[in-house]
Structure 1
Amino acid sequence: MRILYSQLLFIAVAMPSAVSAQSEAPAPSEELYEDVGRGVGMTWSFQSQRGKPALEFGVKETEHRLDRLWEFSCANFKNGTVSNTLFANPPELREGDQFGFSIRIDNGKSYGLIGRMDPIQIQGSNTNFPHFDIGRSHDLWKALRLGNRAFINLNGNKFSIHLEGSGTAIGKFLNVCKKNAG
């Protein structure tokens, strides 16, 4: 009995704790999560047109909606959420489908979100894209503002985006949304 106890004690001491194992885990790699923005000049930007604030991650010089990857609207801000659309098209999802996905900032925690495929009109035709809402005080906002890279797993479709310039753009966006919500 004493030998069994000492062997169990040795195993328990030799195993890393869940906390230390998590903090030592490497950040996801860009080999698995391809960078989809930097190579084509995507940046974070805030703009307000006709009193409608918008936060975007995309190619700033164009007006074409598909030159953006991520678009934010504060249309639901009074209800406590910010509306988001990711211009990514997972082929296995159809209009109305709900799905889970995650966003990990750098090597920090992963934020799990629920999205749905919603139709969006682009150049006269309806196309379905992932849509979701983020609470206006959700921890993800702070992480996006302070981080370097977001690793996104959208129903098994993995990609990453840089967060350079996100802090200023997100801050302006949320402040204007709050001001407009009164």
Structure 2
Amino acid sequence: MTDTDQQPSHGRRLFTRTSPYAPTLYQCYAAARLLAESTAGCQPPVTAVVGIANGGIRPATVIADQLGVPLHLAIARHNQTDELWQQATGEVTVTLPGALPRRFGGTVLLVDDIAGSGATFAAVTQALGPLLADSAVTKSLALCRNAGCSEGPDGWVWDVDDWVVFPWEQGCPDDARRLPVPNKVRTL
């Protein structure tokens, strides 16, 4: 088990504070399938998916299943509470379970539900570093990317400018806004 604390200088999440976005479960699964399709044929080939718990577990499961590769989990904690409109602190605690492979090769996909500032992907990438073969590549994928995210991810479906409440979270406000039907993967 590995724990690391990161304090990189990443972007600040932007919130219009109009009302949170709330994609449906169907939309999230469709977006995850688009993300999986976007990695088909990448070199080196995808050999594993690492879902960043908690939010990345469901999309990572869909992606790993579609690609037919093993799913692993990394636990990353960024927000101090589950309250809406929290600003990113840049402090991310990562815990890697002991059941991970001794060495990852090929392309390893890191998956989360949202890239708010970029700090979580950076922290998980750093924590996985000792487990990556010299030729291994990591790619980060998220359902959503906040407009304030300064680094990554490598692919995402929705740009957002407010808080997002995903279907696997509790407490969706009545005035939540839907996201459009997912139709393409965005990249930097």
Q: Identify the TM-score tier after normalising by the shorter chain.
A: under 0.3
RCO comparison, higher one (Cα < 8 Å, 6+): 2
Query: Rg bigger for which structure?
Result: 1
* TM-score scaled by length of structure 2: 0.24
Higher helix share: 1
* TM-score scaled by length of structure 1: 0.24
Higher strand share: 1
